Amino acid sequence: MPTIVLVSGSLRRDSVNTAALATLRRLVTERSAEAEAEVEVEVVPLSIGDLPHFDGDEEQRGDPPAVAAAKSLVARADAVVISTPSYNGEIPGVLKNALDWLSRPYSESALTGRTVAVLSASPGPRGGVDAQLGLVGVLRRVGARVVEHEPVAVGGAEELRTADGDFTDPTVLAGLGSLADAVLAAVGAADARVGA
């Protein structure tokens, strides 16, 4: 069963990036319901707020439990989808911290060879798209396989989000749906069913 791990770059309870991933998850589910193939997809979130600040001394002593769990989750993922805010044009430090832990040790990075898709969301008009460049740069540097796709950046996200924390705007759904298709194709589950 292909596993897709979702990573929000924001810790905020009402995060528009977490909301974008929730909508992406729904779209993946809908696509699977429409598909005829007997393929199941498991979609699970990874909470980067549980990870301590990277500390080489702590790494020497052995991975803290939250780090070990995160590495294990990513290592068994067929694909990872990361939605990032732009903090002054870059990814938030908490997301960079998670990627740094996941990149270690270099010879055994859970991200090396991993299929990773990226998107961004922001209340601003450009949807935080400028942060994607740095994110893709880090991912390529650690040997991830970044899913080739037109940039998906949800702009004006606070206003477009529904009270349920979902997106129903047709343009947003088209972008997220296209990304969902690309991820499902990348994990070989273009015709898919979705599990927990």
User: By the criterion CB under 6 A, which residues form the site for ligand FNR?
Assistant: 10, 12, 15-17, 85-89, 121-124, 128
Q: Locate 194 and state its tokens.
A: 């979705």
> Which of residues 76 and 126 has its CB atom nearest to ligand FNR in the complex?
126
Query: Which neighbouring-strand residues pair with 5?
Result: 44, 80
**Cα–Cα distance, 106 to 52 (Å, whole number):** 19
Q: Locate 188 and state its tokens.
A: 């070989």
> Which of residues 64 and 123 has its CB atom nearest to ligand FNR in the complex?
123
Tell me: cis bond preceding 65? Omega within 30 of 0 counts: no
> Which of residues 109 and 122 has its CB atom nearest to ligand FNR in the complex?
122
**Cα–Cα distance, 110 to 143 (Å, whole number):** 10
Torsion of CA 71, 76, 77, 80, to 10 degrees: 20
Least distance from ligand FNR to the Cβ atom of residue 59, Å: 27
> Which of residues 2 and 155 has its CB atom nearest to ligand FNR in the complex?
155
* CA 5, 9, 12, 16 torsion-angle sign: negative
Per the listing, tokens 């199941």 go with: 40
Candidates 164, 187, 129, 180; CA nearest to 27 is 180
> Which of residues 121 and 147 has its CB atom nearest to ligand FNR in the complex?
121
Least distance from ligand FNR to the Cβ atom of residue 124, Å: 3
